[in-house]
Structures are given as structure tokens and as C-alpha cells.
Structure 1
Amino acid sequence: MQIRTATEKDIPGIIELLRLSLGESLIPKSEKFWRWKHIDNPFGASMVLLAEQDGQLIGLRAFMNWQWQLQGKIYRAVRAVDTATHPDHQGKGIFKKLTLQGLDEVKSLGVSFVYNTPNQKSKPGYLKMGWKEQGRMPLKFNINPFGYKGKMPVETTNWSDLRLADDFFHIQNQGMHTQYSQAYLTWRYAENPIFNYHYLTDNSSYFLAYRYKEHSFGAELRITDLLINKKNFGRVQKKQLGKALNSRSKKVALISVSGNNYKIMQNYYPFFSIFPIVNKGPIVTFRNIQLESEAFDQLIMPEQWAYSLGDLELF
């Protein structure tokens, strides 16, 4: 078995392997989606390793580039995401070999840490390879009984109209958060090929991204990001945001926001219920690459993070 770095010429074979290994699901197995996720990413193209045997592609492992910011310091990281093993070659340790080699290679690229959101089945394997579990992503929600069994809202959003002020991305949020930029928001939301996202903004003090999800009990409005420019955000702006969000929440049975972003930014949210914050979101895990052990242990403490659903949503 040989392990090598993937190139764009490998994409058709990668898509075929993903389909063979995982089948079709909500997340499409297509070249369009792969290119958006692993090539067009404004933080840089993913590092993708392939395993081959006798000229056949039998395994892959992708590490998606990301940049986090804490108190003005930028941390380069990768998210361990797509992985697949050919059905005829499972049980041979291919996943582990690809993952461990990937960790060695991203270290040479200046990556500080790896993170991901494994499921209960895959988590033990990650923990054996040195990952540390931070816990489950917090969830806050509102229930609207008048939206029970209601129809899925239909909205049209023109993302080309988004023009956030120049100083919007120089705000110092408390806690570790994605290094936001106009390019990031465009890629993450406007160009997303699988979900339709919408936003609320006045272009100077707040930006809120959301999408709808259909359930058997009705529709859910999921808030994926809230950015606040505290310099310009006051009572008038909070009222304006609240009015716009409230009009949309009346059409759904559930409104939710996930992530530590809510815990840190809750004073800026226009409204939410008395329901407590519950830890029902995805499991969040981290693997140190080249930080000092003490610094890494301090860094991954939950209270250090202000991640949102937009950062860790499964896509």
C-alpha cells in the first residue's frame, strides 16, 4: 500500500470511493461539493491523503484548513473531516495510517491543532490516537406552539447585497472564533451548495446568518452565526434585529442556536426563552500538533471558545 497526496486529477476517483464506502446521504458525493469544500475554502485547499494498492484507490483522509482567532492571535488549524475506505479493504488499519501520517504532514505546514466532531462510533479511535474530548456543543432553543406542523418558510436572499463595513472584521470578540472576513462569509454561506442560508444585517453593527430545517413537527430556524460590532450596536440596533428575527420565528415551530457563541454573546441576542442551555450538540474533540502541552490544555477549555454552529456544522 502506498500513501500519497491527492491532486485535482484524483477528484473523480475520490468521489467514486466516497460513494462506494459511504453511499449517498444528505451530504452529496459530487465534484461540485468537493471543490467547494476542499479547494475553494478561503483558508486554503485541504490536505488530502490517498491510499493506493495495485493502482486502485482504497482509502482517503481529508484535513480541511481553518483559522481561529483569540484575543488578536491567529491559530492555524485543520478539521479532520472526510474519510473513506474501500469496502474490500476495511479492517486493515487504513484509516489510522492515513490519519497519523496526516498529523505528521500538517505539523510541517505550521498547524497548531486538529479538531473535529466525531460520532460515538468513531470517537474511541480518535481518543486512542491522542485526541481530547472537550464535550458536546451547547444548544439553546425557543418553542413556538403556533408553528406546529406549519409549512416550511420560503425566502429569497440576495447575498450580493451584503456589504459589511470595513471595521466589522476588526472586532475583538471574547473567546476563540473563526477569523471572519467578507470572503469567508461569501464562501461559507452565499456559495454553499447544499443549504440555503439567509441573513439579517444593517451592514455596520450586526450580522446574523440562519437557515431553515424541515422536521415532522414543523420547521426549525437555525441560527448559525451572530457577529456584533459592539462599537455600533446599541438598543436601537438590538430592537431592529429582534423585530426582524421575531417576524421569522413566528413561522416556525422551533428556533435554535448552537455553540459557545450563545453563552458568550447572549446579551446581544434580541430574545430567547427560559429554557436552559443543554449539551445536545455534536461532540467536539481536539488533537495537539505543536503547542506546549500546558498551553494546549488551557486553549481547549470550553470557556475559551466562542464557536458557532456555522463553525462546526456538519458539512
Structure 2
Amino acid sequence: MRYLVTGGAGFVGSHVVLALLDAGHEVVVLDNLSTGYRAAVPAGVAFHKVDLLDYQATAEVVAQGPWDGVLHFAALSLVGDSMREPLRYLRQNYLTALNLVQACVEQGVKKIIFSSTAALFGGPERLDPIPETAPVQPGSPYGESKFMIERVLHWADSIYGLRSACLRYFNAAGADPEGRAGEDHRPETHLIPLTIDAALGRRPALKLFGTDYPTRDGSCIRDYIHVTDLADAHVRALGQIDHRSVTYNIGNGQGYSNLEVIRSVERVSGRKVPWEAAPRRQGDPSLLVADSTTLRKETGWEPRFGDLDRIVETALRWRESHPNGYEV
């Protein structure tokens, strides 16, 4: 098969590219490199440096099909930033996706996989795993922008027959077990790499945002999914949308608190993690844990790297071997 991956130079996108290549498919990557890295794209993979806000340039790449599917990862993705710049997030994420969907419709693309988010469920305070049927109540403009795109895909299916899989995943973490790709954000905002860097002495003491949540230890609880398991779910989802669109939550179904992440990094690294309490961040719910029953039943997907220490171990190994990230 032949697939176009937008945002394929980013964290999740680059791991999905590897999963597609490992399955024997041909992959083409489109990325504007605003947050991704050219070095994250494997050698031999065709690459187009294009901004999806540029409709003409986007349409020219999509016209280079035929494509057996398009996988869309390119987006602004920081909850905190979206609270400070809501209109930028709403505008850019919506328009880039709309441009891509329009180009796909015009070129007769039949399948699209959309990187959605658990931030759609940011509003309610839940103490049980979240199913796909849970009320959508975004707690941030970032989450709202993703829901707007899901609605675009709903109508693209209803009117044009563009089948889609909206994959609402929780906290992607870890790194390729073979060391081919890892996590490198500038600035880094994800807890596991920040905690690892604090343990390695590469950054000041970790700031723990909120220690007074209604959880077992007062810190936020999140469902961490290894990025390789997440990539596998994307490949499996492609086989589910020949005749219908689907929506899946993707997570391990196991919640770990921020303090438990700190303890995991200390166990795996053998180092103490310096940290200090900080005020809550606006838009952060106390608990987000996925119910991935539908994905498991329909695709046979099961996480292979579900243990938190295993996730941390792959992330630690990549950061130790890439002290400057993708920069040589």
C-alpha cells in the first residue's frame, strides 16, 4: 500500500511512519518542520516540506497519488499554549485539516486516519475509564479544535464517502524500542521526558503542576501509552475503514499519577528526580484514563509495552543516546 503521512517528522507521526514501513508499505511524508525534524524521517522516504495552511501546495502533494490512505498528525498540540492563544489554535488546526480533507476529496482519497485526542473529554471529572460514548466536553481550545475536525470528517464521510478513523489517544510516551526514533519537543512539555531530563541533571528541578487534585496522591492521573503501541493501533485502524468510519479511544486503561511517574523514572534510571510543587495549569483535568474496549474487540489490538517502567526505559535509553535530540 501507499500512504501519505502529514506531520510525519513529529513524535507520533515518525513512529507511525516506522510502523507502516515495517509492515512493507510505501510512505510519503508531508511536514512543515515547525515542530518536527527532517532527521526523524527515515532515509529513502519521500519528503515534502509543505505547510498545510497553503492549500495549493497541499493539493499538489495530494495530487501525487493514488493513495491507499492519508494519516493526519500535523497540528498545534499544547493544551497550555491553546489556553493562552485560543484563536491561533482554533484557526490553524481547523484550517490545516480542512485544506487536507478538501484536497483528499478532490483527489478521490477513500481513507483518512485522524490523530484526535483525549482532550475532548477535558471537562468532566471522571473516576472511571472513558469510553468513546462519553460526552464530548473539551476543556481547552486545543481539544475543541480537534472536535471541530472530527465534525468535518463526519460530513466528508456523509457527503463524499471519505471514510475516517478518529483516534482519540491519551498520553503518548516512550520511544522506538530499536532506537530509530524518539521524543524531541522544543520546548519539551511532556512529563516523562521532563522527568528524565531532571534525573539526568539536564534541567532544573521538575515542576509538578498541582498536588491538590482529588486523586490518590493529589497529583494528576494519566493513561500513558507507548508510542509504538499507538503506531500499531493506527495501522490496524486502516483495515477497519473500508466501508465505514470509526472512532476509537486508545490507551492502556491504566492510570498513573505524576508522582508515580517520578518514582518510575527513579527506579529505571537509578537517579533521584529533583522536583517542586507548582500551581495547577489551567485546562488540566484531574484524571484521564481510556476505555479502549472497542479498539481491542474490533482490531485485536493489545499494548505490548503497557508497563510504565518499560515505557520509561525506552524513553530514557533514547534520551541518553541522543543528548541533543535529533540535532547532530
Question: TM-score under structure 1 normalisation?
Answer: 0.31
Q: Which has the higher helix share?
A: 2
Kindly indicate whether structure 1 or structure 2 has the higher relative contact order, using CA contacts under 8 Å at least 6 residues apart: 1
Question: TM-score under structure 2 normalisation?
Answer: 0.30
Higher-Rg member (1/2): 1
Q: Which has the higher strand share?
A: 1
